[in-house]
């Protein structure tokens, strides 16, 4: 049968596996130079002309718009790594690519992909067991020690990012932010980030509460007070505008006086609501819906601050910070429904005004205000901090760490080589290939920094053979060092997740030996079927003959 026997695009067998491997290789090539402290950034321009400069593997791979079906698997593992652990997105793609690259010669020599998959899975289990053995547990009872550990994990994550020059400043900020969260569920969504163009990186702030940009404001806003100490805060999901009542009903009238009554009634309804809000004792009123100009002026006269059209995410964080509950009516509002914070103020930041709610008693939330010269730059700072926040969360939840900088990978490569000796048959070669794949990460670290990778890897092999399990690449001094002592630390979970995800992806891609691309139209499919006409009627030598 020809390749196009049913109007579909097919490729199969060994050639298919090889072409899938080559496709994945090209994705890995793009990402590999972003790895490590000396990694380069990528500038990606999307179809709408928006440009993004990033060093974050998951961000780059999302923006690449990869079409090849097998290479799309790499996008999935990068996203999964980002969602699960937050960091190690470049490494996971690199490792999966290296596993595929080393599988290529086996496929060319007609080794069945099933054997490769079996060997890789076996090696993966051995590697994960080994990490659990050597990972160093962290003591939680000493808060000072715990804090310094978290800061080291955060700064290791920032080593390869744009904010490397300020990593001490930002690692403190990230650890403060994570320690402010509810320690039970550590929900990273409770850390708000706001990007404010202008100023330097060091002007970034961490607010122990909520800060958001001044919302759309009506006439009378200027007369409202702009700061309070210990104010009572009322959160609403309610519109305080005149037009609301009129829009909701159809009224037929004969006399002008009747119309006047309707207008008066509308004002009465609005003022009743406003009187109830004022009577509740709230000093700050925030609403998800609009607060109109009549209401704004009413509040200004009574020295109450009001802001309408507050974003839902900010309102949710206000609930978490102040202990207030969002009200959908102003009837029966009591003190227990109101929240409070130590200080409210409106301040100028860059070219915009921001509302700050700080010193919140219930605070299980905080806000990072990031500053920088350009929007591109701040967006990349935000992505870098997201990685660091996730790493600190993981270190708090799973208290075991390993050394970074290629140390774990070299250790695993050596361990698997030892283990391979005990495995008979072809699987031994597959496990050896898997062991070799780990060396791709320290090799890439060296290449990106401009070091002689062969020389460095030889030194690392020697150190690991001598039992130094934490020997890794020392980027600062172009040599090899004990990365556990040099405080290049990562949560063990990053590595276990990375290895499992990369192995799964490689095995999935190796298992595919046939691609069928379905034709767009069924009639096209019909007409291409041998012996069948476009209308589904059989044709050929016998068509039309009567027997």
d(CA 223, CA 303): 8
Q: Are residues 309 and 353 in the same domain?
A: yes
Q: Does residue 15 lie within any of the structural domains?
A: yes
Q: Pick 320 or 434 by higher pLDDT.
A: 434
> What pLDDT is recorded for position 412?
92
> Are 355 and 383 in a shared domain?
no
Q: Which of 165-169, 201-205, 239-243, 452-456 has the highest mean pLDDT?
A: 452-456
Among candidates 471, 449, 450, 453, which has minimal Cα distance to 462?
471
- From the number of C-beta atoms within 10 Å of its C-beta (0-12, 13-18, 19+), residue 309 rates as middle
The DSSP letter of residue 216 is: -
Catalytic site residue 90? yes
Q: Are residues 327 and 450 in the same domain?
A: no
Q: What is the DSSP letter of 240?
A: B
Confidence label for 370 from pLDDT (cuts 50, 70 and 90)? confident
pLDDT tens-digit readout, 280-313:
888 888 888 888 888 888 888 888 888 888 888 8
CATH number of the domain that 294 lies in? 3.50.7.10
The size of the chain, in residues, is 547
The predicted pLDDT at position 249 comes to: 66
pTM value is 0.72
Cβ atoms of residues 323 and 338 within 8 Å = no
Identify whether 4 is part of a domain. no
- Per-residue pLDDT at 246 exceeds 70: no
Residues 58-70 pLDDT 10s: 888 888 888 888 8
DSSP category for residue 39: P
511 has a pLDDT exceeding 70? yes
On whether both 225 and 276 belong to a single domain, the answer is: yes
Interval 172-182 mean pLDDT: 82
pLDDT digits (tens, 9 = 90+) for 322-335: 778 888 888 877 77
Number of folded domains in the chain? 3
Residue 371 CA to residue 241 CA, distance in Å, equals: 36
Name residue, tokens 């200027």.
Answer: 222
H helix or E strand, kind and range, residue 106: helix 89-108
By DSSP bridging, strand 366-372 and strand 191-197 are parallel
User: What is the residue range of 148's domain?
Assistant: 143-208+368-398
Q: Decide if 482 is catalytic.
A: no
Cβ distance 120 to 506 under 8 Å? yes
Helix axes 72-84, 13-32, angle to 10 degrees: 50
Distance (Å) of CA 469 to CA 244, 416, 476: 70, 13, 20
* 177 and 284 share one domain: no
Asked if 372 contacts 422 with a C-beta cutoff of 8 angstroms, the reply is no
pLDDT per residue as tens digits for the range 89-144: 888 899 999 999 998 888 888 888 889 999 999 999 999 999 988 888 877 777 77
Check residue 542 and give its pLDDT. 46
Say what the alpha-carbon torsion angle 93, 99, 100, 104 is, to the nearest 10 degrees. Answer: 160
pLDDT at 437: 92
Least confident of 30-44, 79-93, 357-371, 450-464: 357-371
Percent of the chain with pLDDT over 90: 9
Residue 179 lies in a domain: yes
pLDDT of residue 545: 47
Q: Which of 64-78, 241-255, 357-371 has the lowest mean pLDDT?
A: 241-255
Specify whether 194 is located in the same domain as 216: no
Lookup: tokens for 493: 């979970």
Residue 52: pLDDT band by 50, 70, 90 thresholds?
Answer: confident
Note whether 460 and 446 are within 8 A (CB).
no
Looking at residues 255-264, what average pLDDT do you find?
A: 79
Cα distance from N-terminal residue to C-terminal residue, the chain: 30
| CB-facing half-sphere around the CA of 152: CA atoms within 13 A | 20
Between 116 and 319, where is the model more confident?
116
Helix residue ranges per DSSP H, 33-71: 57-63
Average pLDDT over residues 84-93: 83
Closest CA to 70 of 511, 427, 423: 511
Q: Which residue has the higher pLDDT, 384 or 250?
A: 384
For residues 239 and 182, membership in a common domain is answered with: no
- By the 8 A CB rule, do 138 and 493 touch? no
Top mean pLDDT of 246-255, 343-352, 504-513 is at: 504-513
- Cα separation, 81 vs 490, in Å, equals 14
| Residue reference for tokens 């429904």 | 337
- Kindly state whether residue 67 falls inside one of the protein's structural domains: yes
Answer whether residue 384 is part of any domain: yes
**Helix/strand/coil (H/E/C) assignment for every residue in 373-389:** CCHHHHHHHHHHHHHHH
pLDDT at 126: 92
Cα 160 to its chain centre, rounded Å, is 16
- The residue ranking higher by pLDDT, 102 or 525, is 102
In angstroms, what CA-CA distances link 528 with 1, 9, 10, 64, 374?
A: 12, 12, 14, 34, 56
Is 17 in the same domain as 118? yes
Lowest mean pLDDT among 31-35, 217-221, 415-419: 217-221
Mean pLDDT throughout 185-206? Answer: 79
Residue 293, classed as helix, strand or coil, is: helix
For residue 35, pLDDT beyond 80: yes
Give a yes or no: residue 265 inside a domain. yes
Options 34, 56, 314, 474, the catalytic residue: 56
CATH of the domain at 384: 3.30.260.10
Q: Residue 37: which CATH number? A: 1.10.560.10
Q: Which of 313, 339, 362 is the last residue of a domain?
A: 362
**In terms of Cα–Cα distance, which of 531, 517, 538, 529 is closest to 5?**
529
In which band, very low, low, confident or very high, does the pLDDT at 10 lie, cut at 50, 70 and 90?
low
Which H or E run contains 343? strand 343-349
Residue 208 CA: distances (Å) to CA of 119, 190, 344: 51, 11, 12
pLDDT of residue 245: 52
Q: pLDDT tens digits, residue range 208-245?
A: 778 888 877 777 677 777 778 878 888 888 887 776 55
Domain co-membership, 171 together with 238: no
The verdict on whether 59 is a catalytic residue reads no
Calpha distance 35→125 (Å, rounded): 25
Residue 456 and residue 340 share a domain: no
The pLDDT tens digits for 140-176 are 777 777 787 788 778 877 777 777 777 788 888 888 8
Q: Is 49 left (phi over 0), alpha (psi -120 to 50) or beta?
A: left
348 plus 383 within the same structural domain: no
Residue 541 located in a structural domain? no
pLDDT value of residue 6: 45
Say if residues 151 and 396 touch (Cβ distance below 8 Å): no
Residue 318 pLDDT: 83
Catalytic residue, chosen from 82, 87, 208, 387, is 387
3-state secondary structure of 402: strand
Q: Which of 275-289, 316-330, 405-419 is predicted most confidently?
A: 405-419
Choose the catalytic residue: 34, 89, 296, 481.
Answer: 89
pLDDT value at residue 546:
47
Q: What's the average model confidence in pLDDT over 502-526?
A: 74
What is the distance between the alpha carbons of residues 202 and 200, in angstroms, rounded to a whole number? 5
HEC string of 412-436? Answer: HHHHHHHHHCCCCCHHHHHHHHHHH
Residue 86's closest CA among 66, 56, 118? 56
| Model confidence at 482: pLDDT above 80 | yes
Q: Do 352 and 336 belong together in one domain?
A: yes
**Phi-psi sector, 13: left (phi>0), alpha (psi -120 to 50), beta:** left
Task: Show the CA angle centred on residue 345, arms to residues 341 and 347, nearest 5°.
Answer: 145
Q: Is the pLDDT of residue 54 over 70?
A: yes
Q: Is 535 contained in some domain?
A: no
Are the C-beta atoms of residues 90 and 29 closer than 8 Å to each other?
Answer: no
pLDDT of 541: 47
Name the residue with tokens 């405080």: 487
Q: Which of 186-195, 280-289, 425-434, 503-512 has the lowest mean pLDDT?
A: 186-195
Distance in angstroms (rounded) separating the CA atoms of residues 283 and 285: 7
């Amino acid at each position: 049968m020809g390749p196009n026997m049913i109007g579909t695009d097919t490729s199969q067998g060994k050639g298919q596996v090889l072409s899938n491997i080559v496709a994945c290789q090209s994705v890995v090539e793009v990402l590999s130079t972003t790895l490590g402290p000396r990694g380069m950034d990528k500038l990606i321009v999307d179809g709408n002309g928006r440009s993004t400069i990033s060093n974050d593997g998951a961000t780059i791979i999302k923006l690449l718009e990869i079409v090849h079906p097998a290479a799309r698997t790499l996008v999935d593992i990068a996203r999964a790594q980002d969602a699960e652990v937050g960091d190690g997105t470049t490494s996971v793609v690199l490792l999966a690519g290296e596993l595929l690259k080393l599988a290529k010669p086996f496929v060319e020599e007609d080794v069945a992909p099933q054997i490769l998959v079996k060997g890789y899975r076996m090696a993966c289990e051995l590697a994960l067991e080994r990490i659990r053995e050597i990972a160093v547990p962290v003591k939680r009872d000493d808060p000072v020690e715990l804090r310094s550990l978290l800061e080291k994990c955060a700064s290791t994550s920032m080593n390869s990012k744009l904010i490397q020059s300020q990593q001490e400043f930002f690692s403190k900020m990230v650890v403060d932010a994570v320690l402010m969260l509810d320690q039970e569920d550590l929900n990273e969504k409770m850390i708000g980030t706001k990007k404010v163009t202008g100023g330097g990186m060091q002007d970034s702030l961490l607010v122990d509460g909520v800060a958001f940009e001044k919302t759309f404001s009506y006439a009378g806003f200027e007369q409202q007070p702009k700061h309070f100490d210990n104010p009572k805060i009322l959160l609403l999901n309610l519109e305080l505008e005149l037009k609301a009542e009129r829009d909701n009903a159809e009224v037929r009238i004969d006399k002008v006086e009747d119309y006047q009554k309707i207008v008066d009634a509308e004002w009465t309804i609005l003022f009743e609501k406003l009187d109830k809000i004022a009577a509740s004792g709230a000093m700050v009123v925030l609403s998800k819906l609009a607060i109109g100009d009549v209401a704004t002026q009413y509040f200004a006269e009574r020295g109450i601050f009001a802001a309408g059209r507050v974003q839902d995410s900010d309102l949710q964080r206000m609930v978490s910070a102040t202990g207030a509950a969002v009200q959908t009516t102003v009837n029966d509002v009591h003190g227990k429904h109101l929240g409070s914070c130590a200080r409210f103020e409106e301040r100028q930041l860059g070219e915009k005004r921001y509302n700050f709610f700080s010193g919140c008693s219930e605070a299980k939330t905080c806000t990072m205000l990031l500053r920088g010269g350009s929007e591109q730059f701040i967006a990349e700072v935000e992505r870098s901090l997201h990685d660091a926040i996730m790493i600190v969360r993981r270190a708090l939840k799973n208290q075991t760490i390993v050394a970074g900088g290629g140390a774990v990978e070299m250790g695993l490569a050596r361990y698997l080589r030892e283990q391979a000796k005990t495995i008979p048959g072809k699987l031994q070669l597959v496990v050896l290939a898997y062991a070799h794949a780990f060396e791709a990460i320290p090799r890439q670290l060296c290449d990106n920094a401009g070091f002689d990778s062969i020389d460095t890897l030889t030194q690392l092999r020697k150190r690991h053979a001598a039992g130094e399990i934490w020997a890794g690449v020392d980027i600062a001094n172009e040599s090899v060092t004990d990365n556990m002592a040099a405080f290049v630390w990562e949560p063990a979970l990053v590595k276990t997740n990375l290895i499992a995800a990369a192995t799964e992806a490689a095995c999935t891609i190796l298992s595919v030996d046939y691609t069928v691309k379905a034709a767009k139209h069924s009639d096209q499919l019909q007409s291409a079927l041998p012996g069948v006409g476009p209308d589904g009627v059989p044709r050929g030598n016998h068509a039309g003959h009567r027997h």
